[in-house]
Amino acid sequence: MSRVTSTRNPVVRYLRSLERGPVREAEGVYLVEGVRLINEAMASGQAATLAVYDPVLLSRSSAGSSLLAQLPRWADRSYEVDARVLRAATQTETPSGVVAAARRPRVDPLETHQDDRLGLILDRLSDPGNAGTILRTADAAGVGFVATLPGSVDLFAPKVVRAGMGAHFRVPLYPGIPWSELAAARRDVPCVAMEAHGGESLYTFRWPERVSLLVGSEAHGISPESQERVDARVHIPMKSGVESLNAAVAASIVIYSALRPANSSAP
């Protein structure tokens, strides 16, 4: 059984380097941390190149103990560490016992999603917690894919992965896709943008059979290029004096509205 005992070990330095987007992109991996997420990763067939774990921490729970027996067979390389080394290898102050470098999932070309009922496009969304929560909702609702435009948060950043709660293992993700590629892949599919107050009320809007939903940032909305690509705009009615909803909350409401059964009489 391989063991890492120093916080200066190259394995530790490598895991910390994966907090940086360019390194993750070059390596084709991303960080997955915690017993629950690692168990979901295994169950979904997600592969890993490297895992480090603290057997003492893992043995404190039944889920951790079960994971402990599987880790050496799951990752290409796995190392036992103590709590001190694990803290050095992770971003969290109280790690739950395991962190892994997972391979970026392979996805089909974006063009294969031409007929998806709902695709989600994130435009200049910068908050990783909001992005992860939106991915979690997209997973639960059955959204066909999620893409980001350049300038948005990295979907594989550690905070996004933690907030996504396993969505990365199930939802096809397309980070940093320019509008030219998105428009070609979703040709003839209307694009509907969420706005704080503009456009039609969500209560009266009738969703197309297929749609791409555009979610902008809370602070800046959608980009000038996106403004030119939008076919319709919707807003969530709010009482007077309320400026806006959190981007993740608003996106969740609109996603479920867009996927409402066609024969439903509800608004």
What CATH number has the domain bearing residue 70?
A: 3.30.1330.30
Per-residue pLDDT of the chain in tens (267 residues, 90 and over written 9): 589 999 999 999 999 999 999 999 999 999 999 999 999 999 999 999 999 999 999 999 999 999 998 998 999 999 999 999 999 998 677 778 999 999 999 999 999 999 999 999 999 999 999 999 999 999 999 999 999 999 999 999 999 999 999 999 999 999 999 999 999 999 999 999 999 888 999 999 999 999 999 999 877 789 999 999 999 999 999 888 777 788 999 999 999 999 986 545 444
pTM: 0.92
State the Cα–Cα distance between residues 252 and 61, nearest whole angstrom: 33
Cα 240 to its chain centre, rounded Å, is 33
Terminal-residue alpha carbon distance, the chain? 59
Q: What is the CATH number of the domain that holds 232?
A: 3.40.1280.10
Based on the fold, state whether residues 95 and 194 are members of the same structural domain: no
pLDDT at position 1 is: 57
181: in domain: yes
Q: How many domains does the chain have?
A: 2
The domain boundary residue, chosen from 55, 86, 103: 103
Based on the fold, state whether residues 138 and 195 are members of the same structural domain: yes
Based on the fold, state whether residues 71 and 33 are members of the same structural domain: yes
Based on the fold, state whether residues 71 and 178 are members of the same structural domain: no
Range of the structural domain that residue 149 is part of? 110-258
Based on the fold, state whether residues 228 and 144 are members of the same structural domain: yes
127: in domain: yes
Based on the fold, state whether residues 187 and 97 are members of the same structural domain: no
The domain boundary residue, chosen from 103, 136, 157: 103
| Full strand arrangement of the beta sheet holding 98-103 | 29-33, 98-103, 48-53, 75-80
Q: Which residues neighbour 214 within 8 Å (Cβ) at sequence distance 6 or greater? A: 121, 123, 191, 192, 193, 194, 222, 226, 229, 230
What crossing angle do the helices spanning 35-44 and 62-74 adopt, rounded to 10°? 50
State the Cα–Cα distance between residues 122 and 259, nearest whole angstrom: 18
The domain boundary residue, chosen from 78, 103, 128: 103
Would you say 102 and 18 are in contact if contact means Cβ atoms under 8 Å apart? no
